[in-house]
Amino acid sequence: MSHIEELHKAQNYFFKTRKAQDIKYRIQSLQRLKKVIESKEQHIYKALAEDLGKSEFETFLTEYNVIIGELKNYISRISKWSRPKRVRPSVLNFPSKARIYPEPYGNVLIISPWNYPFQLALAPLIGAVAAGNTVVLKPSEFSNATGLLLREIIEEAFEKEHVSVALGDAQTAQELTALPWNYVFFTGSPDVGKLIYQAAAKHLTPVTLELGGKNPCVIHESAHIKVTAKRIVWAKFLNAGQTCIAPDYLLVHKDIKEPLVKEIKIQIHNFFGKEVKDSPDFPRINRKEHFDKLVKMMAGESLIEGGDHDRESLFIAPTLLNEPSRSSKVMEIEIFGPILPVISYSTKEDLERWIDSYEKPLAGYCFTGNSRFEKWFINRFSFGGGVINDSIVHYLNDRLPFGGVGNSGIGSYNGQKTFETFSHFKGVVHRGTWIDLPVVYAPYAHKLNRIKKLMNWL
């Protein structure tokens, strides 16, 4: 029996002891996790700088603070969310009461990505623990420093039969997904997501797949130019564009393309200075293979801004591309880097041709001062979630579900929704015995007209 199989067996046994389902134990576990994370704040900054070249500020904003906020939220609300919920009983069951009981699925596998390796590992883990499950976390092998730190944090905060970290490459992931889990949560590419789904289907295991896609960003002629440019630059070049909900390409009305591009260039230099490579606030590409793929995307395209790159330091400057064709490499798949195609449009039909030529994306964005156009955009296009007059910030509202649709994902999470994702909601009817209507019991002779009248009356 392999180490992975032994761990899976141990967690199965631990779950059956029902210790993980005890509300007090769940709260204490998350309190320990919070304490350990707070004690290792500087280690977290160091790991993210090593893996992605992130500044302390960006790591705090997009990784550390998100998780601390999530832990505070869960620690204070687990008891409330775990209570049975009363619902109105059916008259057909009179006399009765009805309740919905949240219960954990059991043994959960979470496979997290490299682009936000701390946040996207721990956010679902917190919800899974809060719901009463055991967890095996498989961090990405492409964020090695953060993966090692996550293992250290988890080992200090949890009993290993409750929550553990399995480090390794794709072979480890295959070994893990071959086992019969009670729930699988995966964040990554659609191609890998399909493999995860196939493996889970063999055991009828429910899944959440947080994937990606080519997120459109439409800029209507009524948009506020300066604010739009500033918000696009922030969202697109955060984490050097390695964000699954970053704007993938701009569709700009032809009448404002020139002033918008000019303002975007100004804001890039306002953010990162004239020499972006020297900025302490601009991260790096995760690894050389991904760097090479991004450089190939730029080959032969018309540059508006940027294009500078250095393989040794994994630096690619914020880059604007002018009017790439639909058949170009950069428009074939999700970019996942600091490259932003700028495409002009004239009519709504132009927008439909571009956006409908792709699978449903994880996010959709629209900058406009026209409420009718805003409503048209929201109703016309399907996407996982989105923002009007900004981008990516919908993830920050933990009262909104976060997830994809179609090729960009299955299921959702965020805030209380994460607790619900990792819970099975068991509906139970509590019947009274002080009266028992005989009309429903056999023999049924001469009862049909009576039951029809009763149904009509109800």
Considering only CA atoms, which of 232, 242, 282, 245 is closest in space to residue 383?
A: 245
Residue 385's DSSP bridge partners are 363
Instruction: Confirm if 285 and 316 have CB atoms less than 8 A apart.
Output: yes
Question: What are the respective helix, strand and coil percentages of the chain, to the nearest 5?
Answer: 45, 20, 35
DSSP letter (8 states) at residue 244: T
Choose, from 63, 161, 244, 305, the residue flagged as catalytic: 244
| φ, ψ (nearest 5 deg) of residue 320 | -110, 130
**DSSP-assigned letters across all residues of 297-309:** HHTTPPEEE---E
Please tell me the distance from the alpha carbon of residue 228 to that of residue 56, in angstroms, as a whole number. Answer: 26
Residue 309's DSSP bridge partners are 316
Choose, from 58, 70, 210, 301, the residue flagged as catalytic: 210
Residue 163 structure tokens? 């929550």
Position of tokens 């880059």?
Answer: 319
Catalytic annotation present for 244: yes
Please tell me the distance from the alpha carbon of residue 411 to that of residue 206, in angstroms, as a whole number. Answer: 10
DSSP letter (8 states) at residue 361: P
Instruction: Confirm if 161 and 10 have CB atoms less than 8 A apart.
Output: yes
Considering only CA atoms, which of 1, 6, 11 is closest in space to residue 160?
A: 11
Catalytic residues: 210, 244
